[in-house]
Amino acid sequence: MTLTEEKTTQERPKGLGPIGWLRWGWRVLTSMRTALILLFLLALASVPGSLFPQRGVDPGAVARYLTDDPVKAEWLDRFWLFDVFKAPWFAAIYLLLFLSLVGCVLPRLAVHLKEIRRTPPPAPRNLARLPHHADIEGDLASAEAYLRSKRWRVATGEGWVSAEKGHLRETGNLLFHVALLVLLVAVGAGGLFGYRGNVLVVEGDGFSNTVAAYDRYLPGSQVSPEDLQPFSFTLKDFQATYVGPGHEKQGQPLDYFAKLAVQDAPGAPEREVELRVNEPLEADGALTYLIGHGYAPTFRITGGDGKVAFEGPVPCLVNNTATFESECVIKVPDAAPDQLAFLGRFLPSTVPNGEEWLSIFPGAANPTVQIWPFKGDLGLDAGTPQSVYDLGAHQNLKPLGQMTASPKPMAVGEAIDLPEGAGKIEFTGVKEWITLQTTYDPGRFPALLASGAAILGLLLSLQIRRRRVWVRLRDGGVTVGGLTRTEGGDFGEEFAELTKALEQHARAEVKDVP
């Protein structure tokens, strides 16, 4: 240690040399100024994450951006601006700040441990020179007793008493900074060892927690498919209530919940769980949240050959959350002789409006579906990935019959015979779907502990002041002097109170010992 130090100082004129450069770099990195700059940079770096849509938050919005303005989007993407919080430059700032924190906290921790064990320094010769001082009645013994009783650390010498208080400030400060480090680690570990999955489930259907069952699955790099908690459930029922007519907020949801029958593991007893917005399902540390809902009208579709080619619910995407007017896509590759496809518009509370039909309320008071039929080749064998919510990719479909802007809607139980003898579609009922998100994050509890510690540390660090008081004997009494390391605040007030208390204490002792 000392050797290298000497070497670097000697070599400085000729250049620092590799170790010198390392030491220099470390010193710069762990300096306060660098930490401040890194802190600012981190804040600055997160700004674009709020201005551009992020893949991790809203992948749909990113996809729209890419189609709307491909040239600009490509450039943005090149700089990771749709994945700011996973970008290498963001990670670089984060890591440098982390290092800088480590480099500054560890030495300070060592210094602080030494500091705590040290006794307060002897009194200066002339206390009247201190910013706070007063001549009072009293004697050293009573001053010492009083200061000790108020939990000052006290040292004494020939003709003086020295006292110090407020090491908790630095303790709190270190606690805060260490807690930040722990928080960074916990967040990182959660990302590595946790996973997140999204799935859509229709009433009556089930789900079991496997990678294949998810519509979208985002594992941390240290998670393997066997690690998933083996729970499963069936969606028994979903119910929503909305603000009724006559209020500005008509149609706003008041409450919704899903009834699940849950099994924590295969063969385990079944339990009923009511899933609500702020009340997730917990199974073995994995949490499942209700994050969305919508309608899934059910259909029976018959091909031109008279055979039933499709029967079941079709989840529709919500176009308008105030009325739950939804858009559905039905693909029927099993229909023969021609494959069939349909676009649908689902209206939960239908009213006619001139030539059109509208939904006026999100509840299913009068559910209908408008249908636009197509036939042709769905091309599902071609192997190109297709969205189940989109017909746009199918060029080989042709409309059946006359296309109108607003065809007459079907009510539940009604059927339409398709033109050109292509078959029949029956609207058989209405179910609801929910979207769920399952998360497993082993870092969340450590992160919470670290956050609590950070607040505690902050309070100590910001509210406690380190201060010293000395008492020196003089003719007919003592002189008290005070000093605080941290400027500002009310030390003057505290000092005035302290001198008064010292005086009172001295007088009381005199009375006790007549």
Partner 1 sequence: MSPDRLATLSDQLVLAAILLYLAAMVGYALELAFGRVTETVRERKLVSVGGPAEEVPEAAAPEPASWAPKAGLAGTVALWLGWAANVGGTLTRGLAVDRWPWGNMYEFVVAMLLAAVTVFLFLQVRYPVRFLGAFVAVVAAIGLGFAVRVLYTQAGPVVPALDSYWVAIHVSAAIAASGLFIVGGVAAALFLVRKEGPSRLPARADLERVAHRVIVIAFPIWTFAVISGALWADKAWGRYWGWDPKEVWAFITWVAYAAYLHARATAGWKGKAAMIVSLIAFACLMFNLVGVNIFIGGMHSYADVSK
What is the Cα 88 distance to its own chain's centre? 20
Q: Which of partner 1, ligand HEM, none binds 54 (CB below 5-8 Å, type-dependent)? A: partner 1
Minimum distance, C-beta of residue 292 to partner 1, in the bound complex (Å) = 11
In the complex, what is the shortest distance from the CB of residue 88 to ligand HEM, in angstroms, rounded to a whole number? 20
Give which of ligand HEM, partner 1, none residue 102 binds (C-beta under 5 to 8 Å, depending on kind): none
488 forms part of the interface with ligand HEM (CB under 6 A): no
Element (H, E) at 260: strand 253-263
DSSP 363: S
Cα of first residue to Cα of last residue in the chain, in angstroms, is 62
Q: Which is nearer to ligand HEM, 29 or 199 (CB)?
A: 29
CB 335 within 8 A of CB 360: no
CA 400, CA 373: separation in Å to the nearest integer?
Answer: 6
The continuous run of DSSP H or E covering 104 comes out as helix 88-117
19, 28, 43, 141: which one contacts partner 1 (CB under 8 A)?
43
| 225-264 footprint of ligand HEM as x/- string (CB under 6 A) | ----------------------------------------
- In whole angstroms, the minimum distance from the beta carbon of 277 to partner 1 comes to 5
Number of Cβ atoms within 10 Å of the Cβ of 96: 17
Among 278, 384, 387, 395, binds partner 1 (CB under 8 A): 278
Name the residue among 291, 258, 284 with its Cα closest to residue 272: 258
Q: Which of 462, 501, 508, 510 binds ligand HEM (CB under 6 A)?
A: 462
Site string for ligand HEM, 23-52 (x = CB under 6 A): ---------x--x---x-------------
At its nearest, how many Å lie between ligand HEM and the CB of residue 85?
Answer: 17
Taking the least distance from each CB to partner 1, the nearer of 183 and 371 is 183
Q: How far apart are CA 326 and CA 348, in angstroms?
A: 9
Residues in the interface with ligand HEM (CB under 6 A) total: 12
125 class by beta-carbon count within 10 Å (0-12 exposed, 13-18 middle, 19+ buried): exposed
- x/- string (CB under 8 A) for partner 1, residues 209-248? ----------------------------------x---xx
**Min separation Cβ 455 and partner 1, Å:** 6
CB of 6 to ligand HEM, least distance (A): 27
CA-nearest of 367, 365, 357, 352 to 298 is 367
The answer to whether residue 100 forms part of the interface with ligand HEM (CB under 6 A) is yes
Question: Which of ligand HEM, partner 1, none does 12 bind, CB closer than 5 to 8 A by kind?
Answer: none
Q: Do the Cβ atoms of 367 and 431 come closer than 8 Å?
A: no
Nearest CA-CA partner of 401 in 381, 379, 416: 416
Considering only residues 154 to 213 of the shown chain, the ones binding partner 1 according to CB under 8 A are 187, 196
Q: How many CB atoms lie within 10 A of CB 450?
A: 20
63 alpha carbon, distance to own chain's centre: 23
- Picking from 296, 297, 325, 310, the residue whose alpha carbon sits closest to that of residue 428 is 297
Percentages (nearest 5) of helix, strand, coil residues in the chain = 35, 35, 30
With CA atoms as reference, report the closest residue to 231 among 306, 284, 280, 167: 284
Stated as kind and residue range, the H or E segment containing 144 is: helix 140-149
Report the residue from 142, 162, 171, 173 that binds ligand HEM according to the rule CB under 6 A: 173
107 touches partner 1 (CB under 8 A): no
Q: Which of 45, 101, 290, 422 binds ligand HEM (CB under 6 A)?
A: 101
Is there binding between residue 35 and partner 1 (CB under 8 A)?
yes
Beta bridge mates, 302: 308, 424
Give whichever of 22 and 351 is closer to ligand HEM, judged by the CB atom. Answer: 22
Q: Does 448 interact with partner 1 (rule: CB under 8 A)?
A: yes
C-alpha span between 336 and 227 (Å, rounded): 43
Greatest CA span in the chain, whole angstroms? Answer: 121
Cα dist from 329 to 133, 155, 313, 315, 389, whole Å: 84, 83, 11, 8, 6
- Considering only 323, 438, 467, 472, the residue that binds partner 1 (CB under 8 A) is 438
Nearer to ligand HEM, 177 or 472 (CB): 177
Interface residues with partner 1 (CB under 8 A) are 32-33, 35-36, 39-40, 42-43, 46-47, 49-51, 54, 56-57, 84-85, 131-132, 187, 196, 243, 247-249, 252-256, 276-280, 287-289, 291, 437-439, 441, 444, 447-448, 451-452, 454-455, 458-459, 462-463, 486, 488, 490-493, 495-496
